[in-house]
A and B are shown apart, each in its own frame.
Chain A
Amino acid sequence: MSRPDWSVRVAGLRQRSTAVRRWLEHHALSLTALATAGVLAVMLYLPVGVVFVNAAFDDGVATFAFFREVLTDPFYFGVLADVFAEPLAVRTHLESLLGWLAAVSVSVSLEYPIPGVPLPIPWPSLETPGIRKGLFGFTAYQAALSTVASVALGLSAAYILANYEFRGRRTLRSLTILPFVLPGIMVAVGFYAMFGRTGTLNQLLGIAGVGPYPFIEWNPLAIVIVAHAFYNAPLVARVTVAAWESVDVRTVETARSLGASPRRAFRDVVVPQLLPAVLTGALLTFIFTFMTFPIVLALGGLQLATVEVWIYDRVRRLAYSEAATLAVLETILSLGLTYAYLRYESAQSGLARGATSPSRTPLFPDLRTALSPRRLAIVGYGLVTLIVFVGPMASLVVGGVTDGSGFTTRHYAFLLERQLEGADYQTLPWIAIRNSLLFGLATLAVAVPMGIVVSVVTVRADRGGAIVDTLAMLPLAVSGVVFGIGLLQGLVFGIPLPGGWRIQVTGAVAIVAAHAVAAYPFVTRNVSPLLANLDPAMVESARALGASRYRALRDVELPLVASGVVAGTAFAFAISIGEFSSTVILASGGDTYTMPVAVERYLGRRSGPAIAMGTVLLVITAASFVVVDRVGGRFER
């Protein structure tokens, strides 16, 4: 072989590899979109479809009977059931509505809202003749209250994190999603340990000489709402901080130079840029709390049962048609709400160019400033977060090192012993830790591209985009119980094929795929509002200069929405770490269990070992979040 020959060949290879690369670059987006669709079809639409079919078919015959039965049952739909039963009897329905309105009265009475404190407060009370909400109505009611509480707590946190500089701010920002990964049972135990009659709060109050108060017994609904805020306020905060940090200060400066007061500039310039993010947080919170399941029963009791509780019960009794019907109705509600929001979001595009981030002022520069009303309000908010967020988690950690008789290390000794001496059919702590971290990283690798692609595909398409985007939100809108049973029947048992064959999907790869499916909507919802805010002209000029769509995304758009991508990444990781219901199904019989699964498995007669494992989960995820944010932070400006 002569030299010239060889160099020609190398050149040819190089040319070909360049061509391949260019081809890949040109098709990167469509390939990722294709892969996304594939994963969704197998890991989402197939399992959900397997269960949903039960709602519409009875022995292979299509029927509407299951829906009619649920819709016209006052237990499920309260007063609306009559309307569903006879949708055309408008007159009758209007008459009963008028009759109800006529019976409403408002009165003012003196109340003593703080027990033990003789402080009379005039209390307006709305006397209504009582309205039967039904299970769906009550579920929506508590979800609405939970959303309000979560947004109130979350927005305050976002305001402080985005506008003030203080020691540990970045770490605190990383840790905001920590509550998100805690298994429901841990949160319940933490809440009892914090708010119970012998809990931490009462012990603290006892030092001050008051109490004990039965905080949980006073108003179970209020405690459930606080617990929902514990889960979801961090979510609102995280999404909003990401948007706040990408607000273009120059627009604020322009408004100010044109004579707008700081308040006015905030209202007219900053608020519109934050609103999509705040509403995203509110929407996700509403959907989550609408589908809440373990928390309501653990803290509130059966009186506060939600639709999801009934779905779980139906599934346990193997009454799949009723379970599926309830789940379909739940999904329609959530998707309808999502669609309405997404239509709003897409109408908001093209607001800003995204450039200079706002600067932060020191939180406590000096004593004088520290005593200003605004700083004092922040201190007050800090106290609330200490009680609501830090309290339950700290009480949990303390519960891991105490027993009926005081300090003990035996719960951790249990973990160590299990690790060293446990049999292979038992749950070993290290394997759980290792799996959680590996699955978390793998989930990022799959979910982040998936989420970004869905954003890119849908952001500029108008109405059609909103529909695709809504369907892409299905993982959030579908009942976790139903999804789990779908995975079991569809993927674990396998789908029968002709010739006695079965296709089955289980094991580590299936778990990562399921996590990615659950996680990518968070990436999308964090990235989309920011992406929609970018000026389309920037992408167009990049494309006009010859960049592929992928190049334009990589080099122009992503750097500008980096804060959203990082927030989405953190969420994807959190979802993967905290995911329980599909993991436990797909991991059965193998060594692919994760930390939350281990927590649940250690839950026995005493909660000690489970709490110890829960503490390990807390510490390791906290560390991971800091790392994820530090690594991710390098891509932000």
Chain B
Amino acid sequence: MKRRTFVGAVGGSAVAGFAGCLTRDGENDQGNGNGTGTGDPEPEDPDLEGELRVATYESMVDGEDPAGPWLKEAFEEAYSDAELTWTVPNNGINDYIDREQQGADIDADVYLGANVDDLVRVDDNLDDGGLLRDLNVDRIDRADRIRDGLDMGDPHGRVLAYDTGYICLVYDENVVDEPETLDDLTVPAYEDALLAQNAQQSDPGQAFLLWTIDAYGEDGYLDYWQGLMDNGIRVLNDWSESYTGAYMEGDRPMVVSYSTDQVFANQYDYDMSRHQIAFPNDQGYANPEGMGIFEGASEVDLAYEFLDFALSSDAQAQIAQRNVQFPAVAAEHVDLDEEFDRYAHVPPEAVTIGYEELRGSLDGWIENWAREFASQ
């Protein structure tokens, strides 16, 4: 009952030639299909025993001082009959969309780390409201702790935010002044100053692009970007290359990055004057990260408990500090280190483009933007 009904290799390796293995798809492989919103009633006697498989991203388990190991240990302590195992898919949610499309088996119960655009991609490629279950929020007692504005806008209610980051500009105050507005970035004072990331494949890159779409509209953002291009913006591959490569080696004085940058600068004794935070237009783009339960999950009860557990005060503090993101719950439900509070900055206004607007538009926006750059 614990494991998917999987009939193991029948002399598999011999038949398949090499590391091949021959498996048979289980009968009850796929879960309850598209939820109708009334699914997952709270059971009288929840089954809290077994192996909970949580899919997430690399830095949750493999970075420096990641939150993953803490979560596993604390969860297993709280639920003594449960075991938490981490899975890290290579292409994030895409792997599961692919698997669903190919009718392959999905080896996880919970997905930790879904962005709004992940949900959009799921729905653009699978049936609307697919892959993850419609959550029965009543089963998650701590769900009402989540701050306003972190509602991820999914009409199917598949995810809850567990943390959020803000995209902003990080600058070297020895070279440039703080830009007051996004418009400032197109004036001569900021010529050849800004580093951004490719929105085609980088989260902060995409967030910055969406921020400009929020500010200048679907019809105006390309003109604004033309202005940035004329002013010599450089768009590199992803965050690591633009930040650790170009920015840290002093090639440019300003980079699109996270508003928690100073936490690291403080932790690693970097020169703080080179790690100033700017919120042009008094804004920052919010990128909440969400968690949900797969439709075909085999440990549904445990999965609900995990979601609730991730919103507990201890878990929120650990996730925030180790992931260096902001907690999803309101301030009274979480105690953060003084240093974190001091160096992690929150923008006066958080902007974000919700599910409804992204749906059906996101790919086109990015494609048009990228073509503008790469036209030779």
Interface residues of A (CB under 8 A from B): 38, 42, 75, 78, 132-135, 137-138, 185, 188-189, 191-193, 196-199, 212, 214, 216-217, 220, 294, 297-299, 301-303, 305, 309-310, 312-313, 316-319, 403-405, 414, 423, 425-427, 488-489, 493-494, 496, 499-510, 513, 584-585, 588-589, 601-607, 609
With A216-B251, A318-B125 already in contact, the answer to whether A502 and B19 are too (CB < 8 A) is: no
Query: Across the interface, do A488 and B375 meet the contact criterion of CB distance under 8 Å?
Result: no
Query: Across the interface, do B97 and A606 meet the contact criterion of CB distance under 8 Å?
Result: no
Query: Across the interface, do A605 and B264 meet the contact criterion of CB distance under 8 Å?
Result: yes
Q: How far is the CB of A275 from chain B (nearest CB, A)?
A: 33
Query: Across the interface, do A217 and B192 meet the contact criterion of CB distance under 8 Å?
Result: yes
Query: Across the interface, do B19 and A606 meet the contact criterion of CB distance under 8 Å?
Result: no
Query: Across the interface, do B376 and A403 meet the contact criterion of CB distance under 8 Å?
Result: no
With A493-B99, A506-B19, A606-B244 already in contact, the answer to whether A316 and B251 are too (CB < 8 A) is: no
Contacts of A506 in B (CB 8 A): 19, 21
Taking the complex as formed, is B46 at the interface, i.e. its CB lies under 8 A from any CB of chain A?
A: no
Residues 98-113 (chain B) with a chain A CB within 8 angstroms: 98-99, 102-104, 107
Taking the complex as formed, is B31 at the interface, i.e. its CB lies under 8 A from any CB of chain A?
A: no
Q: How far is the CB of A396 from chain B (nearest CB, A)?
A: 11
A496 to B375, CA, bound (A): 41
Query: Across the interface, do B86 and A605 meet the contact criterion of CB distance under 8 Å?
Result: no
Query: Across the interface, do A405 and B241 meet the contact criterion of CB distance under 8 Å?
Result: no
Query: Across the interface, do B102 and A298 meet the contact criterion of CB distance under 8 Å?
Result: no
Query: Across the interface, do A303 and B374 meet the contact criterion of CB distance under 8 Å?
Result: yes
Residues 75-102 (chain B) with a chain A CB within 8 angstroms: 85-91, 94-95, 97-99, 102
Residue of A nearest to B200 (CB): A313
Additional 15 contacts, C-beta under 8 A, given A196-B249, A605-B264? A38-B17, A42-B17, A75-B371, A133-B376, A192-B249, A196-B246, A318-B97, A404-B270, A493-B102, A502-B22, A502-B24, A503-B16, A508-B19, A585-B90, A605-B63
Residue of B nearest to A196 (CB): B249
Query: Across the interface, do A312 and B244 meet the contact criterion of CB distance under 8 Å?
Result: no
Q: Given B64, B241, B252, which contacts A606 in the complex, CB threshold below 8 Å? A: B64
Query: Across the interface, do A496 and B237 meet the contact criterion of CB distance under 8 Å?
Result: no
Give the interface size bracket for B toward A.
35 or more
A508 to B18, CA, bound (A): 10
With A298-B241, A505-B18 already in contact, the answer to whether A138 and B62 are too (CB < 8 A) is: no
Query: Across the interface, do B86 and A425 meet the contact criterion of CB distance under 8 Å?
Result: yes
Residue of B nearest to A587 (CB): B90
A513 to B241, CA, bound (A): 32
- Can you sample 23 A-B contacts with CB below 8 Å? A78-B376, A133-B376, A134-B376, A135-B374, A188-B241, A189-B241, A196-B245, A196-B250, A199-B249, A217-B234, A220-B234, A299-B236, A319-B363, A426-B61, A427-B62, A499-B24, A504-B20, A505-B18, A505-B20, A505-B21, A510-B19, A604-B64, A605-B324
Q: How far is the CB of A618 from chain B (nearest CB, A)?
A: 18
Query: Across the interface, do B62 and A405 meet the contact criterion of CB distance under 8 Å?
Result: no
A546 to B294, CA, bound (A): 67
* Central interface residue in B64, B85, B192, B201, by most chain A CB within 10 Å: B64
Residue of A nearest to B92 (CB): A316
With A504-B23, A513-B18 already in contact, the answer to whether A605 and B64 are too (CB < 8 A) is: yes
Interface residues of B (CB under 8 A from A): 15-25, 58-59, 61-64, 68-69, 72, 85-91, 94-95, 97-99, 102-104, 107, 121, 125, 192, 198, 200-201, 234-237, 240-241, 244-246, 248-252, 264-265, 268-271, 324, 363, 370-371, 373-376
Q: How far is the CB of B128 from chain A (nearest CB, A)?
A: 16
With A188-B241, A313-B201, A316-B200 already in contact, the answer to whether A198 and B374 are too (CB < 8 A) is: no
Query: Across the interface, do A316 and B201 meet the contact criterion of CB distance under 8 Å?
Result: yes
With A138-B376, A404-B270 already in contact, the answer to whether A503 and B20 are too (CB < 8 A) is: yes
Q: How far is the CB of A303 from chain B (nearest CB, A)?
A: 6
A360 to B175, CA, bound (A): 55
A138 to B16, CA, bound (A): 43
Contacts of B99 in A (CB 8 A): 493
Query: Across the interface, do B104 and A494 meet the contact criterion of CB distance under 8 Å?
Result: yes
Q: How far is the CB of A293 from chain B (nearest CB, A)?
A: 9
Q: Given A188, A199, A427, A505, which contacts B19 in the complex, CB threshold below 8 Å? A: A505
Residue of B nearest to A502 (CB): B23
Contacts of A318 in B (CB 8 A): 94, 97-98, 121, 125
Q: How far is the CB of A337 from chain B (nearest CB, A)?
A: 21
Q: Given B23, B59, B201, B375, which contacts A312 in the complex, CB threshold below 8 Å? A: B201
A514 to B234, CA, bound (A): 36
With A42-B17, A404-B268, A405-B269 already in contact, the answer to whether A500 and B25 are too (CB < 8 A) is: yes
Contacts of B236 in A (CB 8 A): 297-299, 301-302
Contacts of B16 in A (CB 8 A): 503-505
Query: Across the interface, do A302 and B61 meet the contact criterion of CB distance under 8 Å?
Result: no
Query: Across the interface, do A137 and B245 meet the contact criterion of CB distance under 8 Å?
Result: no
Residue of A nearest to B246 (CB): A192
Contacts of A38 in B (CB 8 A): 17
Query: Across the interface, do A189 and B251 meet the contact criterion of CB distance under 8 Å?
Result: no
A303 to B375, CA, bound (A): 8
A510 to B18, CA, bound (A): 7
Contacts of A217 in B (CB 8 A): 192, 234, 251-252
Query: Across the interface, do A302 and B370 meet the contact criterion of CB distance under 8 Å?
Result: yes
With A216-B246, A601-B58 already in contact, the answer to whether A489 and B269 are too (CB < 8 A) is: no
Query: Across the interface, do A198 and B103 meet the contact criterion of CB distance under 8 Å?
Result: no
Contacts of A507 in B (CB 8 A): 19
A188 to B69, CA, bound (A): 31
Q: Given B21, B63, B200, B234, which contacts A604 in the complex, CB threshold below 8 Å? A: B63
Query: Across the interface, do B245 and A189 meet the contact criterion of CB distance under 8 Å?
Result: yes
Query: Across the interface, do A588 and B376 meet the contact criterion of CB distance under 8 Å?
Result: no
Query: Across the interface, do A493 and B237 meet the contact criterion of CB distance under 8 Å?
Result: no
Q: How far is the CB of B158 from chain A (nearest CB, A)?
A: 18
Q: Given A405, A601, A606, which contacts B264 in the complex, CB threshold below 8 Å? A: A606
Contacts of B15 in A (CB 8 A): 503
A506 to B90, CA, bound (A): 15
* Central interface residue in B63, B324, B373, by most chain A CB within 10 Å: B63
Query: Across the interface, do A604 and B59 meet the contact criterion of CB distance under 8 Å?
Result: yes
Contacts of B269 in A (CB 8 A): 403-405
With A301-B234, A607-B240 already in contact, the answer to whether A214 and B251 are too (CB < 8 A) is: yes
Residue of B nearest to A132 (CB): B376
A163 to B21, CA, bound (A): 52
Query: Across the interface, do B102 and A489 meet the contact criterion of CB distance under 8 Å?
Result: yes
A389 to B20, CA, bound (A): 41
A78 to B374, CA, bound (A): 12
Q: How far is the CB of B258 from chain A (nearest CB, A)?
A: 9
A133 to B376, CA, bound (A): 6
Q: Given B19, B64, B102, B248, which contacts A509 in the complex, CB threshold below 8 Å? A: B19
A507 to B19, CA, bound (A): 6
Residue of B nearest to A608 (CB): B64
Contacts of B20 in A (CB 8 A): 503-505
With A217-B192, A405-B269, A606-B244 already in contact, the answer to whether A197 and B98 are too (CB < 8 A) is: no
Query: Across the interface, do A297 and B102 meet the contact criterion of CB distance under 8 Å?
Result: no
Query: Across the interface, do A423 and B373 meet the contact criterion of CB distance under 8 Å?
Result: no
Contacts of B373 in A (CB 8 A): 302-303, 305
A217 to B19, CA, bound (A): 48
Q: Given B68, B103, B235, B363, which contacts A302 in the complex, CB threshold below 8 Å? A: B235
Q: How far is the CB of A315 from chain B (nearest CB, A)?
A: 8
Contacts of B245 in A (CB 8 A): 188-189, 191-192, 196, 298
Residue of B nearest to A212 (CB): B250
Residue of B nearest to A489 (CB): B102
A294 to B61, CA, bound (A): 24
A506 to B245, CA, bound (A): 35
Residue of B nearest to A189 (CB): B245
Query: Across the interface, do B89 and A588 meet the contact criterion of CB distance under 8 Å?
Result: yes
Query: Across the interface, do A185 and B268 meet the contact criterion of CB distance under 8 Å?
Result: no
Query: Across the interface, do B88 and A588 meet the contact criterion of CB distance under 8 Å?
Result: yes
A301 to B228, CA, bound (A): 14
Contacts of A425 in B (CB 8 A): 61, 68, 85-86
Residue of B nearest to A136 (CB): B376
With A494-B23, A510-B18 already in contact, the answer to whether A297 and B237 are too (CB < 8 A) is: yes
